[in-house]
Amino acid sequence: MPAAYLDENGDWVKQCSTCKEVQPVAQYYNHTPDYSNDGYKPRCRECTKAKHREENARRAKKRRQQSNKLDKIHVDWIREQKGKLSTRATAKAFSKRFFNMKISNSTVSRIFNNIIHTVPDGEDTMSIYDLLEGASDFSGSVEEYIESKDEKKIKFYRDGRG
């Protein structure tokens, strides 16, 4: 890593390890002396900030992937693995199958055990999925369709975040 040096004008300058620009040392954050020979970070301030922005964006993306809500297709797929794969193997296979959507072992386990995303039993209730499926055949508006149903019979799946 190039250390700070005096340029031809007698100013302390340093080359950034990322953008390679030679800049006055004031453009660098101080570094713990143990970790650098000149007391400055190897990256200039702008590059340091850019790196943090990038890391924050990456973390935010990861959080978004983790908090993706499960749709019926996901839940059905998970349920199909019951008895074939362990909860852990299912969670792993799930993120491969659904392009890196993450799901926790405990969510899989709770789906396997019908604690969340339970299948409504009996013909007295209908799930939101059945409701939406029926709506596609209905010629009126969605609102009219929902009104045409007995709302007590509509069972909404619980959110499956694990």
Selected binder of Zn ion within 13, 14, 16, 117 (CB under 5 A):
16
Dihedral pair phi/psi, residue 82, rounded to 5°: -60, 130
Q: Is 13 in the site for Zn ion (CB under 5 A)?
A: no
The CA distance from 116 to 157, in Å, is 8
Query: Can you tell me which residue has the tokens 């693995």?
Result: 81
Interaction residues for Zn ion, span 71-90 (CB under 5 A): none
**19 touches Zn ion by CB under 5 A:** yes
* DSSP reduced 3-state for 143: helix
Considering only the stretches 16-24, 33-41, 57-65, 119-127, report the one whose residues sit in contact with Zn ion under the rule CB under 5 A. 16-24
Cβ proximity to Zn ion: between 19 and 115 the closer is 19
Size of the site for Zn ion (CB under 5 A): 5
> What is the token pair recorded at 82?
């019951």
Question: Do the Cβ atoms of 113 and 160 come closer than 8 Å?
Answer: no
Candidates 109, 85, 106, 115; CA nearest to 97 is 85
DSSP 86: -
Candidates 8-16, 62-70, 140-148, 153-161: pick the segment binding Zn ion (CB under 5 A).
Answer: 8-16
Site for Zn ion in 38-57 (CB under 5 A): 44, 47
- Which residues lie near Zn ion (CB under 5 A)? 16, 18-19, 44, 47
